[in-house]
Structure 1
Amino acid sequence: MPTIKDVAKQANVSVATVSRVLSKADTVSEKNTQSVLEAVEKLNYKPNALGRYLRTAHTKTILVVVPDITNPFFSNVMKGIQTLANEREYDVLVMDAEHAHFDTMKCFDMLEQKQVDGLIMLTSRFDQQTLIDLSAEHSIVLACEYLEGTTIPTVSIDNVSAARKMTEYLIDLAYTNIAHITGPMETVLGIDRLRGFKQALQARSIPVKTSYIQEGDFSVDSGYNVMFKLLAMEDRPDAVFAANDEMAMGAINAAKAFDLKVPEDIAIVGFDDIRMASMFTPQLTTVSQPTFDIGQKSMSLLLDLLNKKPLTQSQFVLENTLMVRDSCGHHLKTKDDTESPV
């Protein structure tokens, strides 16, 4: 394996010059820089990460904590993070908070022990005070989920207004018995999407039926099981708004098990616009989040923190889009069978 001395010899420069080129210092002549880069490529030299850390006290590695790595929603968020990280020559480690052996404090310890330079949390389901305390000393960004009343840099959409918009759309299609399958009620996403659902009903003077509000856990199985409960009711709903696409897909499968057609017999809509939403049968009406942009913006904020750049703002709320597809029955109401963003 070639060493930095081999690179220096190949380029006919000193080891110090090679080190300055690799650390992107601007004190090296263009000629010597080119010689070093050519030698690095020819020898396939890989800088030693430990040596770099000892010189700079930076690992050039960040940690991302995902609430459930099997949830396809997070794949495009991760792509946004990874794309910018690659451009800035950062490595990305991923921890799955749903893993059986996940230790809540391990990711925080990695920051304290300087095993990673910064942390992006795609979940706020941790001890909030610990997270707030750590953010005062370390570079931490929250994405997708959020904590109210903190200064931790955050990137998300407005989940309340997005859920309200979806519910209002169902009301505009003349549905009057609308049920909601919530996310876990200990999560900000479950709470906020339920809040938006209730706001839309109350604004149109439609009673909020507690029996029509059932808690899921964001999984396909929970959507399926909760839908069975809703369909067993004597006064069954004519539309169901699930707080994410996976639960909506589970709900559609449950409706089919009851020999019901979606949307002819019951409308079902979701939230997130994962890739399968437009491929499912029927195609799923849902709220589209700018997942790639959320990931890229969160990485950009983390880089600003790592580089000690002052932030002009700490809370970033990105736009969402209502994607109207077949599962809501809009084409039965309007005779328009095309997908359309709202």
Structure 2
Amino acid sequence: MSSIKDVARLAGVSVTTVSHVLNKTRSVLPATQERVLEAVQTLGYVPSAVARSLKINATHTLGMLVPDNSNPYFAELVRAVEDACFDAGYALLLCNTDNHAGRQQVYLDVLSQKRVDGLIVASTSDDALMSQHLAQTALPMVLIDRAIAGLDRPCVQTDHVQGGMLATQHLMAMGRKRIACVGGPQDLQSSEQRVQGWRQALQLVGLPADLLVHGDFTANGGYVAMRHLLRDSAADRPTAVFVCNDLMAMGALRAVHEAGLQVPRDVAVVGYDDIELASYTQPALSTVAQPTRAMAQQALAWLLERIQAGRSAEPVLAATQMLVPALVARESSKPAARAAVPIESGETL
């Protein structure tokens, strides 16, 4: 394997000159630059990425932490971030924290040792330990999807309160009045904000917000929560359910089917996220779409600003941007069926 010394020897220049040509750290005469590049091509020399990163204090590599990469929503979010990074000339290292605080800390240390230029973080949870771990990290950082209380870092996310209201108002517009909610983990701001939107929408029109259970953002969690909601008599059970993510909504669809009921005839269902699978359920799932592409692009733009500011010692203030969600109405939330009107004797249609 050829070394930088071999390139310098063949080109008839110093090792320092070769370094300046490859790293573009100083102007070199065109004829000299041409000889160096020809030597590089002849020898098939590949510069060491580690050595180069030490020289220019940048690796053009970013790290990303997600709580559960088996959740299709996070898989789609990662894809959007990766595409944005590639377009900007950056590679992305992904770490799945598996909703575990200790694992998140380990990955923060690993990414720091890998000399990534910055971090995009969808935090595992909103507890004090998580906030402390992230606050102690010196790398430039932007939060995505989930804000963290007490952590002064830029954050881009969907307006989850508005999303919860959109879902609930849609169900009311479909003629539903007994509307339940399946919330996500209670230690996540984003989850509780969706629940808050559901509650506010009902309170605005004077409907009770008394049917609330929580799941864990998994399909099984939604299945168990829906079974709990359906255990009451027909008069007390919900006629509609807002489920705070699409995976739980899919579990809820199964629970309704197993109870001998039909969606949307007996129970209308609206999810949250608009993952690709949502349009392939039976019936197709109505949901609140998060603008994942826009979130990814904004998060990367802010992170690159902070990386550049760190090099120039110019402070960049933390900021939060709430992106607008959108309701996607499909078959699972059609209007409630009206009771048939009996035909009087002698009446003709």
Same fold (TM over 0.5): yes
Distance 1:79 1:16, change over 3 A: farther
CA contact (8 A) 1:124 1:146 kept: no
Corresponding residue pairs, total? 330
Q: State the match for 1:63 in structure 2.
A: 63
Q: Is 1:231 paired with 2:221?
A: no
Q: Which has the larger radius of gyration?
A: 2
Alpha-carbon distance in 2 for matches of 1:76, 1:39: 43
Alpha-carbon distance in 2 for matches of 1:52, 1:272: 41
Aligned with 2:333 (options 305, 320, 328): 328
Question: What secondary structure does 1:292 align onto?
Answer: helix
More displaced stretch, 110-119 vs 302-311: 110-119
CA contact (8 A) 2:222 2:250 kept: yes
Alpha-carbon distance in 2 for matches of 1:56, 1:38: 23
Distance 1:186 1:312, change over 3 A: closer
Give the RMSD, CA atoms, in angstroms. 2.8
Correspondence 1:137-148 to 2 at 5 A: 137-148=138-149
CA contact (8 A) 1:96 1:102 kept: no
Q: State the match for 1:54 in structure 2.
A: 54
Q: Is 1:273 paired with 2:278?
A: no
Residue-by-residue CA offset, 1:135-156 (whole Å, 9 max, x unaligned): 6x43111000002464311110
Q: State the match for 1:94 in structure 2.
A: 94
Question: What secondary structure does 1:251 align onto?
Answer: helix
Distance 1:19 1:293, change over 3 A: farther
Alpha-carbon distance in 2 for matches of 1:37, 1:282: 61
Distance 1:298 1:40, change over 3 A: farther
Alpha-carbon distance in 2 for matches of 1:165, 1:38: 62
Alpha-carbon distance in 1 for matches of 2:335, 2:120: 39
CA shift at 1:7, angstroms?
4.5
CA shift at 1:60, angstroms?
3.1
CA contact (8 A) 2:202 2:208 kept: yes
Q: Please tell me the residue identity of whatever aligns with 1:329.
A: K
Residue-by-residue CA offset, 1:119-166 (whole Å, 9 max, x unaligned): 21112525254256336x431110000024643111101101111111
Q: State the match for 1:197 in structure 2.
A: 198
CA contact (8 A) 1:110 1:116 kept: no
Alpha-carbon distance in 2 for matches of 1:105, 1:132: 8
Q: State the match for 1:301 in structure 2.
A: 302
Aligned with 2:323 (options 318, 328, 331): 318
More displaced stretch, 282-291 vs 311-320: 311-320
Alpha-carbon distance in 1 for matches of 2:336, 2:231: 27
Residue-by-residue CA offset, 1:199-240 (whole Å, 9 max, x unaligned): 00000110111xx10100000011111111111111111011
Q: State the match for 1:256 in structure 2.
A: 257
Distance 1:163 1:62, change over 3 A: same
Alpha-carbon distance in 1 for matches of 2:279, 2:78: 21
TM-score between the two structures when normalised by the length of structure 1: 0.85
CA contact (8 A) 1:142 1:155 kept: yes
CA shift at 1:75, angstroms?
2.0
Seq. identity, %: 35
CA contact (8 A) 1:241 1:268 kept: yes
Q: Please tell me the residue identity of whatever aligns with 1:271.
A: Y
Distance 1:56 1:241, change over 3 A: same
CA shift at 1:294, angstroms?
1.4
Distance 1:11 1:272, change over 3 A: farther
CA contact (8 A) 2:240 2:269 kept: yes
Residue-by-residue CA offset, 1:160-199 (whole Å, 9 max, x unaligned): 1111111111111110011100000111122111111100
Alpha-carbon distance in 2 for matches of 1:296, 1:123: 18
CA shift at 1:17, angstroms?
3.9
Question: What secondary structure does 2:273 align onto?
Answer: coil
Q: State the match for 1:77 in structure 2.
A: 77
CA shift at 1:254, angstroms?
1.2
CA contact (8 A) 1:183 1:218 kept: yes
CA shift at 1:93, angstroms?
1.7
Residue-by-residue CA offset, 1:68-92 (whole Å, 9 max, x unaligned): 0101111222123222323444332
Q: Please tell me the residue identity of whatever aligns with 2:64.
A: V
Alpha-carbon distance in 2 for matches of 1:147, 1:101: 14
CA contact (8 A) 1:65 1:96 kept: yes
Q: State the match for 2:135 in structure 1.
A: 133
Correspondence 1:147-296 to 2 at 5 A: 147-148=148-149, 150-209=151-210, 212-234=211-233, 235-296=236-297
CA contact (8 A) 1:83 1:296 kept: no
CA shift at 1:34, angstroms?
6.4
Q: Please tell me the residue identity of whatever aligns with 1:130.
A: Q
